[in-house]
Structure 1
Amino acid sequence: MVNIIFKNVGQGDSIIIEWKEGLNNKIGIIDCNQVTSTLNPVLQHVIKSKTKEIEFLFLSHPHKDHYSGFMELIEYCLSNQINIKRFIHTANVSIDYLMAASRSIIEKKELSKLYELLMDMRDRGLIELHTVDDNPDTVKNLSEGFKLAFLAPSSQEIDKYIRGVAFPFDEEDSTSNPNANWLCSIIKIYNDNTSIILSSDVESQVLKRLNKKNGRLKEQKSILVQVPHHGAKKNMNKSFWSGLRKYPETYAVISVGKNGYKHPSKEVIEFFTNHPNYILERTDLNAQTSQLAMANSAKLNIISKKVAISPTNQINNDLSYQVSDENCIKI
């Protein structure tokens, strides 16, 4: 059994994975967005759960809405003797190449500072640093037969980032370079029958590539999926999501907050709401509003209603799922 928590962090991503290893509780963290200078929902979770050790921190790609809270989280762990076993990322390029992920001098410095801290911790034996790609042999065992594997980025996407190939569109903050989306991960958590797909801000062409490969996504039925890039229209690949093997009820989650890009788009909402197998969920809507939206897909004005971020509803709007073999329960 694996617990997946999509934290409500506004316009950004933060996902927590929890599982048991024998009698020990384990935790892994994918991305960490800091909502405000005083609100870091992932850090709050670590403090509240009295976490003593973190199996891994994972950065899906080097954009600020995915890494902004990592520095505070790591510094807290260092100050409170919380062991972080490893930091995993997709950017197997030098810091100089990573600087191309941002247009902002301030953000370049923030990203550089994060990696400098991580490399210092590595050199002091406090953490392991690993880069990942779509190597099928890179698999981590989780709980009761569940494993974690990476389906992207492939060498094709990494090459495009290094060569500076222009990303097909720009729906990033003005300070972020969309080119860094070539480094986006796709994570599959799976056992023999069931899978969870976490797609960060992955581009539609990558989903098309995976569709052609067929095998690694068709082995199990998906029971929980993340809709890419906060529900952006241009990341949508309808043939991929229609063709994905899935259960009669498969949760589709959009991590999204207040933004000026019309995320999630009307087209994405309509597709997942009208598809007979998907149950659409969003981190910016409370449970009651979500249920009303699902009941009547024509009332898109209900779906588009935003819930203001505050420390109170920050917790209430987290989306938590308990996944076991062929079963997914919202908790």
Structure 2
Amino acid sequence: MSKLWKVTIFLLLLAALVIWLSVFSTSDNLKIISCNVGQGDSNLIINKSIEILIDGGPDNTVIDCLSKYIPFWDRTIEMVILTHPQSDHYTGLIAVTERYKVGKILANSLNAGSQTYELLKNRVLTRGVDVVNPVRGLRVMYNMIHIDILHPSKEFLAENLLHNYLTMGQFDNSSGVLGAYTTNLDPNEFSIVASLSFGSFKFLFTGDAGSELLDSLATTLSENGINSINYIKIPHHGSRNSISEKMYDLVEGGIATISVGKNSYGHPAEEVIKLLSNKAIKILRTDTDGDIVIETDGERMWLEK
């Protein structure tokens, strides 16, 4: 090989390295990525070297999303939030716990009653992942990220989880378990709903919360002086059960993401799209937009192209 070719190859490799490092360079900004995982939910939050994953989608597709936005040398996800134990939210977390070291997982103690969920439970146990069963009032902080749990409350869990020695005193945001209890309610009603604050911006992650719960949370937020939300993850792929005029009033003029794939349920519902549009809320959908990347420096927010 001639000297000229060696120099050329070296320069090309150097250029590739510079481009690659610029893509994965740490930033003070916050990124929220709605991963395109089909008919399921998965949201990745990145700030500097901190990664937080909310749900894992219905299969291993989430790994493609994580590999795209997390540098290959970073094999730690500081926190996973499993909003509720339904397969389109938890299945991908099995692969996540295999590939990454997970610092802790926030999840309610409701059991899914499936072999796949048992596999996830065993994986979390054998990997030594800390489990926290969060209740309303818990705040988790990383850098400038403040995450507040809005639902479920201790009272809700004590009333609706079935166990012969269940008491409210057991729910204290300390160490927890996966899949210890059953219920007669729709598991969607147990969805962990969390608000995230970064600078002057507020983001809301809703799991599969239904309309009644969204209305109630909107009232609670307003009573606590929160009259504006900049971003909301629409529950349950935009189904009719996610309609909440009270909640979407708070998001008026903001951004709504809908995680949805090919389905036979009519998701997202026309009524939801119309309601959001009437409130001048920008609608972004993973089935048409692919991965959705929102970035903010705490003072401005923009959509990454």
Cα RMSD between the aligned structures? 2.3
Match of 1:53 in 2: 76
Equivalent residue pairs, number: 253
Q: CA deviation at 1:157?
A: 3.7
Q: Distance in 2 between matches of 1:72 and 1:267?
A: 35
- Secondary structure (helix, strand or coil) at the match of 1:320 reads strand
Q: 1:158 is matched with which residue?
A: 157
Matched residue type, 1:16: L
Output one character per residue of 1:276-303: Cα deviation in whole Å (capped at 9) or x when no partner: 3x111111113xxxxxxxxxxxxxxxxx
Q: CA deviation at 1:220?
A: 6.3
Mapped to 1, the partners of 2:78 and 2:236 lie a distance apart of: 26
Q: Does 1:109 align with 2:115?
A: yes
Contact kept? 1:132, 1:150, Cα under 8 Å: yes
Query: Per-residue CA shift, 1:191-249, capped at 9, x if unaligned?
Result: 4632001111011121222233245764363211111111111221112211x165xx4
Separation (CA, whole Å) in 1 of partners of 2:123 and 2:226: 39
1:327 aligns with 2:300: yes
The amino acid of 2:263's aligned partner reads: N
Partner of 2:53: 29
Query: What is the rounded CA distance, in whole Å, between the counterparts of 2:217 and 2:267 in structure 1?
Result: 24
CA distance in 2, matches of 1:216, 1:119: 40
User: Could you give the per-residue CA deviations for residues 241-274 of structure 1, whole angstroms, max 9, x where no partner exists?
Assistant: 11x165xx41111111111111110100111122
1:186 to 177, 182, 193: 193
Structure 2: distance between partners of 1:233 and 1:115: 31
Name which one, 1 or 2, has greater alpha-carbon Rg.
2
| Change in 2 beyond 3 A, CA 1:231/1:156 | farther
Q: Does 1:228 find its partner at 2:228? A: no
Instruction: Give the match for residue 256 of structure 1.
Output: 260
User: Which one-letter code corresponds to 1:264 in the other structure?
Assistant: P
Q: Is the 8 A contact 1:197 1:224 kept in 2?
A: yes
Match 1:70 to one of 83, 93, 113:
93
Label 1:325 to 1:259 Cα distance change in 2 as closer, same or farther (>3 A).
same
Q: 1:258 to 1:266 in 2, by over 3 A?
A: same
Check the 8 A contact 1:5/1:320 in 2, yes or no.
yes
Give the match's secondary structure for 1:200: coil
Name stretches of at least 5 consecutive residues in structure 2 with no aligned partner. Answer: 1-28, 164-183
**What residue identity is the alignment partner of 2:122?**
E
Is the 1:57–1:88 contact (alpha carbons within 8 Å) kept by the matching residues of 2? Answer: yes
**Aligned pairs for 1:245-324 within 5 A:** 249-276=253-280, 278-286=281-289, 317-324=290-297
CA separation of 1:215 and 1:131: change in aligned 2, threshold 3 A: same
Q: Percent identity?
A: 24
Per the alignment, residue 306 of structure 1 pairs with none
5 Å-filtered alignment, 1:198-209, equals: 198-209=205-216
* CA shift in 2, pair 1:279/1:230, >3 Å: same
Q: Does structure 2 retain, via aligned residues, the 8 Å contact 1:61–1:90?
A: yes
Cα separation, 2, equivalents of 1:188 and 1:232? 21
Residue 133 of structure 1 corresponds to which residue in structure 2? 135
TM-score scaled by structure 2?
A: 0.76
CA displacement, residues 88-144 of structure 1 (integer Å, 9 cap, x when unaligned): 2122x5xxxx1xx35xxxxx111112112212333xxxx211111212xx222233x
2 CA distance for matches of 1:3 and 1:214? 24
Match of 1:16 among 44, 47, 51: 44
CA contact (8 A) 1:160 1:182 kept: no
Residue segments in structure 1 that go unaligned for 5+ positions in a row = 78-82, 103-107, 165-176, 287-316
Secondary structure (helix, strand or coil) at the match of 1:284 reads helix
Whether the 8 Å CA contact 1:11–1:230 is kept in 2: the answer is yes
When structure 1 is superposed on structure 2, of 263-272 and 221-230 the one drifting more is 221-230
Contact 2:221 2:227 in 1 (8 A): no
Any idea what SS the aligned residue of 1:113 has? helix
Q: Separation in 1 of the partners of 2:277 and 2:251?
A: 17
